[in-house]
Each structure stands twice: as C-alpha cells, then as structure tokens.
Structure 1
Amino acid sequence: MKNMLKGLGAALCVALPFLAQAPADAATPAGAGAADQALVQRGAYLAQLGDCAACHTAPKGKPFAGGLPMNTPMGRIYVTNITPDAQTGIGGYTEADFARALREGVAKDGHNLYPAMPYPSYAKVNDDDVKALYAFFMHGVAPVQQANRESDIKWPLNMRWPLMFWNMAFLQKGAYRDKPGKDVAWSRGAYLVQGLGHCGSCHTPRGVAFQESALDESGSAFLSGALLDGWFASNLTGEHNAGLGRWSDEDLRTFLKSGANRHASAFGAMTSVINNSTQALSDQDIAAMSAYLKSLPPVGGDGAAAYTYDPQATKVSLDRPANDAGARVYTAFCMHCHGVDGRGFAPMLAPLAGNPNVLAKDASSLINVTLNGTGDLVINGVPSPYPMPGFAAVLDDKQIADVLSFVRTGWNNGAPAVGAAEVAKLRQSTQAGR
C-alpha cells in the first residue's frame, strides 16, 4: 500500500483532520431513541470505512461540505456537499434517493454523477449498511449551507447523459454476496475491500473509458497497481517485489493501522486513507481486510527473482560518490534519513532497499514525492515527526532523476532508471497552480 496509494477516491486527496465520531454540533433529532443513536454511530463508523471525509471535506473546510477539487482525464471537478442542508446538500434526499446516488451514481434530480465518485464499488454495499450511512449523514452531520461548484470540464465533455451508457456498460448492480467455500474473515475482508473501502478505485488499472479493468479477484488486473493523477497506486496482490508478497499478515495490519511498517511508509493519497479511515477501524475489520488481500495471487510482476538485500555494490558507490552523480545527491540530501545502507529507520523513516514503491516499474510516485513531499501521518492525534519534504525548489530535474536512478538500482533493487524528462513532466503537472 502507499506507501500503498487509493486511493484518490478517484483523484489525489488531501490529508484532513481525523473524524473519529459525528461532529459535536450535529444535533440528534427530537425523539430519537437509543436504537436510532446506535444506527447513527454505526453509520459514522461506516463513513470512516468509506473514507468519505477525505473527498467531501476540503482543506480548512467544514466536514462533508464539499468543494475539494479533483482532477479527471476530462478536467477538474469539485466534490459536492453531502451535509443534510436542504438547499445545497442532501437534506431533501429520501433513503431511496441516497441509496441510488451511492450505489448507482444518480442524484435526486436525475443527473448522473461522474465515476470519480466510486459508486461502482459502493454498488456492493448491503441494505443494512446503506440505512446506517443514511442515518449518519442525516442525523450525525451538521448541515452546512455551501453551494456546489460547477466543474471546469468544457462542453461537450461536461454533458452528463452519456454516463447513462457508461453505467450500462460498466456498472455491476447488486450487493456483495459471500462466495462458497470462503470463511467469515475472508468474506468480510472481500466486502470491505471491494465495497466501502473501494481500494480498486485507485489500485486497479482503468480502461479507455476510465472504467476499472476488474471489480473483484475474478479479474486478473484487480488491485495490480495503477497510475492516477501523478501517483502510482501500488500493487496489492501477492507479487513478491512491487506487491505484498514479502509482507506478513502482521506487516499489513500494522500498515493499515499506522501507515508504516518495516517495508514502507504511506505518502500521497494513502496518507489521507490512513488518517481518515483505516486507523479507526476495528482490529477485526483490519484483520479481515488483511486476510483477503493476502489471499490474492501475484499479478503484474516482471518475472524478476524475489528481492534479496545486497549492500555491497551500493556501499562501494557511496565510498566514492564523486564517481556517481546520483550518489552525490543521495549523500547530501537523503542518507541522513534513509541510511547509508538504504534500510532507513523503520517505521519512523522508510527503507528504500526492497521498498515495493522503489521496485515498481512505474516511478511516478517516487518522482512525485521527491518533488512535492507528503503530508503528515496523524496517528491518534499525533503527527509523524519526520514527513518527507519536497525538493522541487532545491534539486533540478537531472539531479532528481540521478538520485532516483541511484536508489532504484542500489542495494540490489534492480528497478529501471529514471529520466530527466519524466521528472520534468511531473514537475510541470504537479506544480501548476501552486
């Protein structure tokens, strides 16, 4: 994982304040009994599981009031207000309206939602969970009057009616059903990963119509990693180098709870997932998600042998950094955190030797995080002490390409080199508007 990336709902999300419970100023309706309150609280938990806050709460904005910009292949859209405000939010939605929007991508007034909203995943959410989510958003969220903003997508691409045909082709209706022969933990994990967790929205490659190439483990591309908005969402299958093949069940559970383990640390969009969602999940649900993910067969590898650590060649290079431009940059800017041996100081500072993100064929995430850094992981209210800083203002394109090539070939990593043109392209796309 990001290091396993989400995912972006379907775009890059910004780390937000952790919402462990319903907002304090969200009043419970008069006459609401204990059973109703229990339903609201269950809905609050499910909203965290779905990471709704990450996309529907803008930086410094009010909870769930929308406004967060999201990049799509057609242009920028702005996430909508899902507070129970009657004029600008979803206060006028019945439970049936809410279920249709959540699971079919159709708003109350009949217009189609862009599939940046992961309704192909939410289609699998069962009726009981939809009821609880509806109770939370109607009675556990404070109404905010904030008008929704029109997208920046130009005509004719901004027309919504073609999405009806997109849904006919790619939307699979029907709540998740347990598969015969699978135990309770696997089935719960599959439901969470495929449904509210919507991991496939970022980690599964997309086709020419921006559809996910697979929606569950029956498709070979499912969770095999994907490029999205300047980040490469990591391979979550059992692939032994760039995937989770070398991760134990405990490694994966630790990552989901804290955003870091002995292999990697979260950055980019996955920071938001950890901050707003997975750290708050029950140990039982974390174990179920891990059991399901660890059951996925390896997909997306390049046929290379399983990674083994070898410090010798890199040690020689670091002993004579004048002979290697990448080693010179590494010793000046990277070595103090990631170590002369590339093993870092996990889990506080990520290792680079054998890190799945370093071994991935696509280097976009490494380039992006080197240019722009990452937000703080905030676990139990405490920010991480050593977030990755950005070096866009310090290092030029060639220097970044040199140091990433050094890292990707060092310590027996054996990944392809990075070119200055790749860095320049991501610098231009990620720095625009900053």
Structure 2
Amino acid sequence: MNAADTIMALSSGAPPSGVAVIRLSGPRVREAFMSLAGPLPLPRTLALRRIGSAERQLDQGLVAWFPGPRSFTGEDCAEFHVHGSPAGIKAILQALADAGLRLAEPGEFTRRAFENGKLDLVAVEGLGDLLTAETEKQRQQALARYDGRLTEKIENWRQSLLDLRAEIEARLDFSDEGDVIDDLPATFSGDLAVLKASIQDGLASLRSGRIVREGIRVALAGAPNAGKSSLINALSRSDVAIVSDEAGTTRDVREVPLDIGGQLFILLDLAGLRDTDSRAEAEGIRRAERAMAEADILLWLQAPDVPEIDLPEVNGKVLKVATKADLPGGQLDSDLSLSVTTGQGIGELMSRLQNLGETLTGSEPSLISHERDRLGLEAALEALGDAELRISQWELAAEALRQASLALERIIGRVDTEQVLDRLFSSFCIGK
C-alpha cells in the first residue's frame, strides 16, 4: 500500500444491483472528481450529476464530496452513487484509472483511516466485526466496540496508570525538591488494587464476548439413534443431517448455525456414544467426546426405544432432553420431552436455549471479545502484579507500571501494530 496513491473501489454489493457506490480517497480525488462530474458540490451534500467526459456520458447519478480531514479516511474522499450496471461500473472505474487512480486493496480505506488517526485499532476490529455480524447480539457488540466504548474503558485504565506512575516518578526525578515528600501517598496501594480489580473484571467478561462473536456451541449427544440428527433437522428446518435407524450413521461433527433470539448458536450433531470395533466410528466418537467437553451447552438426548447410557462429566450447562415423546415408553429422567414427528416440545426447547444463552452472554454486550484483548489485559495484569510486589523499589515499580501502560496501548494500536494490521485488513472486503 502506498499512501501517495489515490485509490478507488466499488464499495457496494456485486452488480447487477439497483445502486452502486464507488468510493475514492487520496490526493488526486478533487482532480478526478471534477474530470468526471464537474464542479465540486458542497461538502457532504449529495448532488445529481451527469457522469463522464464532454464527449462521452457514462451514467447519471448522485455524487458527494468529503474534503479531508473531515472524511472517513482523513483524506479527500468522494463517492459516486450510480446505477448498478456491470458495464456502467466498469466504464467509470476505467475512466478513473485513466485519471491516475488505482483499485484499492482489501481494507485499504479503513487502514488509511487508522493511519490518519480517524480510528484506533479497537474501532477497526469493531468495524470488521460489524461487517460480518449475522445476529442482533453480534451487531450490538460490534457497534459498541466500533463506537469507542472499549477504547474509553482502556483510556480510563491508562489514565489511572499515568497517575500512579506520576506519583513514583516525581519522587525519582525530583527527590531534592522541597514540595515532593519522600513516602508514597497512603492511597497508592489501594488505587493500584482497584485498577487491577477493574482490569480483572474486564478480562472475566472475555468468555461472554467470545460467545457472542463466535456463537454458543451446543452439543447434541447421547446413544446411537437417540434422535440427534432428527432434532438438528427440526431445529434448523432443513435436512442438513442424515437420519437413519442404522446405528453409527453419524461419523463426524456436523456444525449447523442457528439464530435464536438474536444470538448465534452452533448446533453440533455428534456420533452416538457406544463401544464399537469400527475404527471410523471410534474416531467419530472420540471427536464427539472432545466436542462435548468444549461445548457451552450439552443437550443430552434419551429415547424410550434406546438403552440409556451414563451422562459423562462436562464443563458446559446440561439440558436433559427426552426425545420421541410420541412413542410409548417408560418415564425418562429429563428436563423436557419432545417429538420431532409431532412438533411437541420444540418451541419449549428453543426457549430454554435462548434463556441459557442469555445467562452465558449477559444482557449487555461484552466489549472484551478478541484474543488480542486477552493477551493485552493479561500482560497488563502481570505487570501490575509485579508493581505490587516491588512497591518499595520505586525504579522497578515504575518500570512495571510502564509495561502495563504499553500492554494497554498495544490493544488500542499505538505500538507494535504492523503485523496486527496486515493480518486484520487482509480479511476486509475491497472498498472498505
């Protein structure tokens, strides 16, 4: 990427479409805009224009002019809102290329916004999450991060750290001054403990944040023919899993995404648990056991026509489900019963899953949701722990507090960002 280049891209969906948005950013935007759309309109105001040269009209549409630094990227920007014709879009992009513009790389608009101080790294990640959000809770979480709520929290932590560092460094640098007392304030240790506890609380919310971003993993497990695949099909309202009365049909872990109440659930159809001589089925059972251990929720399925097996120990929440309620059979120890044939109990199961999901994610979206967040906060907490241990050794305590500040600054993107940026922006779409 070369910041001296002027870039362009189709920022809307793939044509054909009703409207196409072509974005421009860089030092030659003004010149390119005027060559195709005439005089500049008022900033941030849409104007209807003929688009093309004096000899050749390419289209007619709305245009907008965003002079830097009051633009998304901080540079001069413009947008052409034209008809979503593949031929029309191609002609406009070619005319812009003839004017010296080049096609943007994935995420290049957002990267320029970051490099020009319009967004920090947390907001960039929030924007990336917002672009890929599929459920309401994912949208809420991504928007909160993009709007700067996590940045504000981190800045508050940094300010507390700066205050603590100032107390120590004043004594190190100005110990000969009469107005600097020798001892640290009586509140110093308490303030340090409060800051540490606040960061620990933020880190504790990582699991709920991760669940919102990646989905609640729900393992459907039990004996062969307990109705796992049938229930998956009923919940997803499609034939995504093979249903057969032959035991051992499911050999691998099948993942089915499902939106329940605005929360993403990942349903896991697992192999039935039993002793087997088949190596392929045994591998499927091993994978099932691993998926059960890692699941957030376990639906333990039991059926009246299938021998009961022992429920294994798992870490997630367990919901015992008696399937095939339309068949005669003995009383099963369960939290609810259902039948995919009649539909009995399916609605109740969906409600139970939604309620369990809310206990895992909370009512407010967690702002701590990325692995990078975890690494930064853990590094900050480790440094704060070192400062507590060395509070009587001012030089070492000051250095530990400085390391804690650096760990928080890495989350925002003020230091050591290049590798993170390369990885992050490679996942963005072109035109964003």
Please classify the TM superposition score into its range, dividing by the shorter chain length: under 0.3
User: Greater strand share, 1 or 2?
Assistant: 2
User: Greater helix share, 1 or 2?
Assistant: 2
Provide TM-score, normalisation by structure 2. 0.23
Provide TM-score, normalisation by structure 1. 0.23
